[in-house]
Each structure stands twice: as structure tokens, then as C-alpha cells.
Chains A and B, each alone.
Chain A
Amino acid sequence: MADDNRNFTLKIITPDRVFYEDEVSMVEFNTVEGEVGIYKDHIPMTMIVAPGILTITRGEEVKEAALHAGFTEVLPDKVTILAEIIEWPSEIDVNRAEEAKSRAEERLKEHDPGTDMNRAELALKRAVARIETVRQ
């Protein structure tokens, strides 16, 4: 099924390492404007990443990772994701994520003016993304 011509280069770079680099047929992730799925020959675009699951489809093979922050540069035959934080499911500590989730939820419920709502919300989103990546 995987027609070679429909593949493009996906490169995921973090400050510490090259996280992933390969020919893939589709990549999906969250941006601040909503979920996107990218195939080959997308128009050139720079997008800001929102916390969520990153799905890499390569022929029949599907890989997932938790992507938390960064931005993406899309060119017709190449996608570069500059990720500040990204993890494979095997690298995620579910218990810690659960704890972080309940902590963030509490903070959001309390509506304490002293807490940074944006930060709590982001933390919650990150925790949810981590948990979902592992669950699937």
C-alpha cells in the first residue's frame, strides 16, 4: 500500500538529540489552532505546537509520542518539528503524570487568584497527553 512517492521526510529535533528522522506517510499532532494531519505536498507553513499526542504513520506502522511544546515547520517534502519536550510512551512515568493531573485539576478548581491559571491549564494538558499516549 505504501507508495514511496507519498512519503516525506519527518525530522523531530529536541535540544538534546535528534528524536526521530525517517520517511513517513503522515504525521498528526495538536497545534494551538487545533488538530492537524499532514501529508506530502502540504503548503509551506509554520505552526505552534499544543500539548497532545503525536502520531507518526509510516506505511502500516503507527508510532505515537507525547509532544508538549515547540513548533513545526512544514515544507512540501519535509516536516521539521522543533520540540522542546517530547517523549516516547516507554519514557513516560504514568504515576507521575496521574499525580500531576490531579494536582493541576485541583488548582484549576480552587480558582485561587494566586495561581497562574494558564500554567495550571498547560500542566493539565501535558499530563493528559502523557496519560493518553501510554493508554493507547
Chain B
Amino acid sequence: MASMRDIKRRKGSIQSTQQITKAMKLVSTVKLQRAKQRAEQSKAYFNCMYETVSSMLAKTGSLNHPYLKAGESGKKAVIVITSNRGLAGGYNSNITKLITKGDFKKEDLEIYAIGKKGKDALQRNGYHIMEENSDIIEEPSYVDAMGISKKLLDAYAAGEINEIYLAYTGFKNTVVHVPTLLKLLPVEAPESGEAGKETGSKAMMNFEPEDDEALDMIIPKYVTSLIYGGLVEAVASENGARMQAMDSATSNAEEMIDHLSLMYNRARQGSITQELTEIIAGANAIS
């Protein structure tokens, strides 16, 4: 059995770790509240955007537009949204797994990384990092999303890439986060059955300017809004994941401390008993 001093030292160190995890949990709870609010506020925009775009596509789905059909080059761009800091459970590795375990060929991919952790992990695995924009995950703004989508759309228009994906963690609720791989471009026309239902009220929609010109202008906005949505949700998920991870770390520490306290008390009791036996034995020997 370990000595009393060792147990005490161990308990102390676990206690200070627990204090850190507890503080981190509180911090991410507060951050989560904020991020969640933002994610919810922006939801209205995306729902509306999505509805409009799918009703447009339902109408113009057969159109031979560059945004709707795949090009030839074979390169695929993936925007990978992870966090800059670790200690968030499986949050970052789930996203990297989406890419490493997916059906992608390593040579075909150009990674546009947002978040250091994902970038580092993919770089270690030999993926080609085209660009890194890790700062924006701290405080994502719509302007940041516009910058990224502009770069990607330019590359897409120039034929350097022919597919654009977005890998991010969707925020369902505080405890459920879904790693998601979303195809941004070319836009896939919604299934015909689905489209029929949705577009009931909008089937008569007119476009000004004409359909393909309108597509030219709306699709970039659509891509931008999806990127922004991904960023906002990813931030919420990151804090949610960290909160959970820190919560379980705190309760694990609690368990260990309980166990160590028991051991410590036992050791103390043992040493007292031993001392007593020694004294009594000594006294007996003298008399």
C-alpha cells in the first residue's frame, strides 16, 4: 500500500486539476450560451435562403449552368471547420475522421482549413493545405465567410476545383453535435418528390433578372450563407463539446478523489493501529 504522503500528494494534484476543469466548464458554458443564441438568430436567414434556392432549382433544375454541373479538373476543395484549442473531447478528431475515413482520394483534395487543430491533424496525414484561416473561428463574421466563399468561387470559376465541400459540426442541441460533410457546389437539385411539396406556394415565382442571371447572383450568396452557418454552428458545437468533456473530467476527478480519500483514511488508520501495537508490545516487553 502506498504511503500516506504519496496518497496525499496525488490527491492534491487531482484536486487542482479538477479546479481547472471546473473553471473551463464554466467558461465554455457561458460561451455556449452566446454562441447558441447567435446560431439561433441566424437560423431564420438560412432557412429562408435554403427555401428560395431550392424553389429556384426546382424551377430551373435542368438549366445548364456552371454552378449546377461538375467541371473536369477532378480537384475537390474542402473547407474544414475545427477549433483552435483542444480539450473538447472528440470534437476535432471527429471532423478529421470525416475526411480521412471518407471516400476522398488524398491527392484530389485541397484543404481550406479554419481552425488549427484540424489543419495540424490533416497536415500530419499528408493532406495538401491550400489555406489556413484559423483566426476567424474565434469571432466568425459574415464578412469572413464572404471572403472565403469569394476565393473558392473564383477558383471554381477558373476551373481549378470542380467540387466544394464543407466539413463542420452541426449543432443540434447542447448535447448532440453531428459532424457533417456538406456539398456546396455544384448545387444538387433537390429530389423531384421533395421539391414538389416545398414549392407549392412559390411555383409561380418570377425572377428579375432572368433565371440564369439570378442564379449567378444568388448561388454565391447561398454558398456564403452556408459557410457562415457552418462557422456559427461549429462554434456552438465546440463550446458544447468542451463543456461536456470538462463536465465528465470534473466528475471523474471527483471519483478519484473519493477513492483516494478512502485509501488515505485506511492508511492513516493502519498506521495508528501499528503504532499502538508497537507501544503495547514494547510495554509488555519491559514489564
Contacts and interface: CB of A to CB of B under 8 A. Distances in A.
Given A82-B49, A84-B221, A45 B44 contact: no
Contacts of B204: 43-44
B201 A46 contact: no
A43 B206 contact: yes
A15 B225 contact: yes
Contacts of A88: none
Interface residues of A, number: 24
Interface stretch (A58-66, A69-77, A107-115): A69-77
Interface string B52-65: 10001000000000
Residue among A15, A18, A45 with the highest chain B CB neighbour number at 10 A: A15
Nearest to A33: B208
Interface string B202-217: 1011111100001001
A33 B201 contact: no
Contact of B217 (A32, A73, A80): A32
A70 B221 contact: yes
Interface residues of B, number: 26
Given A32-B209, A73-B52, A84-B142, A48 B45 contact: no
A135 interface: no
B44 A16 contact: no
Say what secondary structure dominates the interface of chain A: strand
Given A44-B202, A48-B214, A84-B221, 10 more contacts: A13-B44, A43-B204, A46-B56, A48-B208, A48-B217, A48-B218, A71-B52, A71-B221, A73-B205, A75-B202
25 contacts: A13-B44, A13-B45, A14-B45, A15-B42, A15-B45, A15-B142, A15-B225, A15-B228, A17-B41, A18-B44, A33-B209, A44-B202, A44-B206, A46-B214, A46-B218, A47-B208, A71-B217, A71-B221, A73-B48, A73-B52, A75-B202, A80-B48, A84-B142, A84-B146, A84-B224
Q: Which 6 A-B pairs have the closest CB atoms?
A: A15-B142, A45-B206, A13-B45, A44-B205, A48-B217, A47-B208
